[in-house]
Copies of this chain bind each other. A is one copy, B any other.
Amino acid sequence: VRNVRIRIAYDGSKFYGWQRQSGFETVQEALEEGLEALVGARVVVHGSGRTDAGVHAMGQVASFHVDTKLEDERLLFALNHHVPEGVVVRDLETCADDFHAQYSARGKRYLYLVRTTRFPPAFGTEHCLWTRGTLDLREMRRAAQCMVGEHDFSALASAGSPRKTNVRKISGIHIVARRDGFALIVQGNGFLYNMVRAMVGTLLQVGQGQRRSGDTSALLQSKDRSQAGPTASASGLYLRSVLYNEVVFAHRGRSRDRAHPGLFP
């Protein structure tokens, strides 16, 4: 029995989120069933965290203990043969026995993709958020900078499972202008339920002139979710990568296998 970690990409529009739920097709279940078919025994796959229905991943990380003679490279190819369309295991490697995709994680990076073309896109409506009209990216960046740092993010979190504290540290938010919209990249040591989507919903109001960037700090201080913008659609959200204290999947060039074309110039 050895401990194995994998990096996974999935199309959230094809699954009912990450976590196993009876009666719904989820990514965790797809991986566990693929592994069971492969090694003939039940395997529990631990993800770095859940993603909701409709949320995508380019670099979700999961770990599991498995008893197989297959080497890493062969296990990788075999597992990809046993998962449904819309899930791809991009990398796989044996790791130290105490590595755990969730408990070892020290942060995450998310990407949120917004398109602002005149009309909704013909392609990929489930893979971005579309909104008509121009946005003031400068004001949005100003508001985003107020969210960077250690704050109580209660104002930007949906009611979810109870937790000790709503304080999280956001180490950076970048808004990258695209010819047809923008990509928002946010990194932090942890995220509350729906937090990135509430951030985007709030920043979009700033970009549309419905909210002043200067009010962002007061908004956070209010700790009142009803003061913030709406929860933006799951369709635009991607779990980009999970951060660990050790280098993971170093054996392969990061650039070779992009999970999604054209998100970064």
> From residue 111 to 142 of chain A, which have CB atoms closer than 8 A to chain B?
115, 117-125, 127-128
- A252, chain B: closest CB distance, angstroms: 9
What separation, in Å, do the CA atoms of A263 and B118 have in the docked complex? 19
What separation, in Å, do the CA atoms of A260 and B263 have in the docked complex? 12
- Judged by a CB distance under 8 angstroms, whether A74 is at the interface is no
What separation, in Å, do the CA atoms of A118 and B76 have in the docked complex? 11
Q: How many copies of this chain does the complex contain?
A: 2
The contact of A123 among B115, B117, B179, B260, by CB within 8 Å, is B260
Interface magnitude class on chain A: 35 or more
Q: Which chain B residues lie closer than 8 Å to A90 at the CB level?
A: 118-119
B85 touches A258 (CB 8 A): no
- Judged by a CB distance under 8 angstroms, whether A87 is at the interface is yes
B257 touches A88 (CB 8 A): no
B127 touches A257 (CB 8 A): no
Q: Which chain B residues lie closer than 8 Å to A9 at the CB level?
A: 122-123
Chain A 54-78 per-residue mask, 1 if CB under 8 angstroms from chain B, else 0: 0010100000000000000000000
Since A123-B260, A124-B124, A262-B262 are in contact, a sample of 17 more A-B pairs with Cβ atoms closer than 8 Å, ordered by chain A residue number, is A9-B123, A10-B122, A11-B123, A58-B122, A80-B119, A87-B122, A88-B119, A88-B120, A88-B122, A90-B119, A117-B257, A122-B259, A122-B260, A178-B261, A179-B255, A179-B256, A262-B263
The 10 closest A-B pairs by CB, nearest first: A262-B262, A9-B122, A88-B122, A88-B119, A117-B257, A123-B260, A11-B123, A11-B122, A261-B262, A80-B119
Q: Interface of A with B (CB < 8 Å)?
A: 9-11, 56, 58, 80, 85-90, 115, 117-125, 127-128, 178-180, 255-263, 265
Q: List 8 A-B residue pairs with CB atoms under 8 Å apart, sorted by A's residue number.
A: A10-B122, A85-B120, A88-B119, A88-B120, A89-B119, A117-B257, A178-B261, A262-B263
